[in-house]
Amino acid sequence: MSVFLGTHQNRFDAKGRVSIPASFRAALRAQVKPDESLVILRPSHLHPCIEAWPSAAFASLAGPVEALDIFSDDHDDLAASLYADAYPIDADKEGRIILPDVLKRHANLVDEISFMGLGRVFQIWEPEAAAKRREEARSRARRMTARPTPAASEVVQ
């Protein structure tokens, strides 16, 4: 499976397009089927950034939605939060995309952009916010790994 690795910076061009990093385009194309969009973009629920999902990975989100009663508030809320602000996007021949204005506003994108690889998905950030997020994530990961691991005998009790 192709994964999204690294952080890449880019800028909007004069027409408001931005190029998806070449390694990310390659990973997307390795996963996309002929009748699917290259990528699905949606606002993050947790951060001021845009989530970018390969079509197949985004389709896997349907499972939890489908498991709910179609007439329930839970179904309606989850479906609205996942699908109402999702945008299928295709790139031009040079790998450029146009981000919907609502997503640009959500992520505070003006001129420069950071693409952050997160394995099976990637995120699109304002560069300073991306740097801050990476530092917060590293700090939290250090604290998480610094916690003592309970011995097997402690877990079994």
Read off the pLDDT of each residue in 56-81 and give the average, rounded to a whole number.
Answer: 87
Q: How far apart are CA 17 and CA 99, in angstroms?
A: 7
Query: pTM for this structure?
Result: 0.86
Q: How far is CA 148 from CA 72, 101, 137, 143, in A?
A: 42, 46, 19, 10
Read off the pLDDT of each residue in 62-66 and give the average, rounded to a whole number.
Answer: 83
Q: Which domains can be identified in the chain, with CATH numbers? A: 7-148 (3.40.1550.20)
Read off the pLDDT of each residue in 93-103 and give the average, rounded to a whole number.
Answer: 95
User: Which pLDDT tens digit goes with each residue over 131-151?
Assistant: 999 999 999 999 888 766 665
User: Which pLDDT tens digit goes with each residue over 27-50?
Assistant: 999 988 888 899 999 999 999 999
Q: How far apart are CA 100 and CA 122, in angstroms?
A: 17
* pLDDT number for residue 26: 94
User: Which pLDDT tens digit goes with each residue over 47-59?
Assistant: 999 999 999 899 8
DSSP 31-80: H--TTS-SEEEEE-SSSSSEEEE-HHHHHTTHHHHHTS-TTSHHHHHHHH
* pLDDT number for residue 124: 98
What value does the mean pLDDT of the chain take? Answer: 90
